[in-house]
Amino acid sequence: MTVFACAGCDAVLSAPVSRVALPVHTHQKWGNGVLLPVLMDPGTYAVDPEPSGPPWRRWSEVGADEAAARGVFAPVYGLSYGAPGAIVMAPGDTRGTVLIPERCGGFCCGLDGRDGPNLACEQCGRAVATRIDDCSLWQTVWFAPDAVRGLHTDEPAGWTTAALPERQGPPPADQSGRWSPQWEAAVGAGLAYLLAASSGTPVAVPDGLVTVLFGNALDAHLPTGTPAKGLALAGPGLPAPDPAPDIFLVPRHPRTGAPWRPSSTARTVPLPAYAWAHLAFPGDGLPVPVTGGLPDGVLRDDPLPMRPLSRFQPDRMVFLDTLARLPAVRQPWLRSIYDRLRAPGTHPF
Residue ranges covered by each domain of the chain: 4-150, 164-283+304-342
Backbone angles phi, psi at 342, to 5 degrees: -75, -20
Q: How confident is the model at residue 302 (pLDDT cuts 50, 70, 90)?
A: low
3-state secondary structure 268-319: EEEECHHHHHHHHCCCCCCCCCCCCCCCCCCCCCCCCCCCCCCCCCCCHHHH
| pLDDT for res 184 | 97
| pLDDT for res 168 | 63
Task: Say whether pLDDT at 286 is over 60.
Answer: no
Beta strands 119-121; 97-99: pairing state: antiparallel
| pLDDT for res 225 | 83
Q: How far apart are the first and last CA of the chain?
A: 41
Task: Say whether pLDDT at 306 is over 90.
Answer: no
| pLDDT for res 161 | 46
- Taking the mean position of all CA atoms in its chain, how far away is CA 177? 22
Lowest mean pLDDT across 95-99, 279-283, 287-291: 287-291
pLDDT tens-digit map of 18-60: 999 999 999 999 988 889 999 999 999 999 999 998 899 999 9
List all residues 6 or more positions away from 36 whose beta carbon is below 8 Å from its beta carbon. Answer: 30, 135, 136, 137, 138, 139, 181
If you average pLDDT over residues 212-223, what whole number do you get?
Answer: 94
**237 φ/ψ sector (left φ>0, alpha ψ -120 to 50, else beta):** left
Compare 209 and 304 and report the one with higher pLDDT.
209
Residue 55 CA to residue 52 CA, distance in Å, equals 9
For residue 193, give the 3-state DSSP assignment. Answer: helix
Lowest mean pLDDT across 71-85, 163-177, 328-342: 163-177
| pLDDT for res 300 | 66
If you average pLDDT over residues 311-325, what whole number do you get?
Answer: 96
Lowest mean pLDDT across 36-45, 49-58, 294-303, 335-344: 294-303
Residue 202 CA to residue 134 CA, distance in Å, equals 41
228-231-236 Cα angle (round to 5): 160
Q: Find out whether the peptide bond into 55 is cis, omega within 30 degrees of 0.
A: yes
| pLDDT for res 218 | 96
Task: Say whether pLDDT at 307 is over 90.
Answer: no
| pLDDT for res 156 | 62
Compare 53 and 9 and report the one with higher pLDDT.
9
Q: How confident is the model at residue 244 (pLDDT cuts 50, 70, 90)?
A: confident
DSSP 265: -
The rounded mean pLDDT for the chain is 90
If you average pLDDT over residues 306-315, what whole number do you get?
Answer: 87
If you average pLDDT over residues 311-336, what whole number do you get?
Answer: 97
Identify whether the C-beta of residue 117 lies closer than 8 Å to the C-beta of residue 129. Answer: yes
For residue 56, give the 3-state DSSP assignment. Answer: strand
If you average pLDDT over residues 221-227, what whole number do you get?
Answer: 87
- In the chain, pLDDT over 70 holds for what percent of residues? 89
Alpha helices in the chain (DSSP H): 59-62, 64-69, 181-198, 209-221, 273-280, 316-323, 332-342
Task: Say whether pLDDT at 305 is over 50.
Answer: yes
Length of the chain: 349
If you average pLDDT over residues 295-315, what whole number do you get?
Answer: 77
| pLDDT for res 177 | 85
Q: Rounded to whole angstroms, what are the CA distances from 340 to 63, 197, 332?
A: 20, 19, 12
If you average pLDDT over residues 129-139, what whole number do you get?
Answer: 96
| pLDDT for res 292 | 66
Query: Residues 333-349, buried b or exposed e (16+ Cβ, 10 A)?
Result: ebbebbeebbeeeeebb
| pLDDT for res 299 | 66
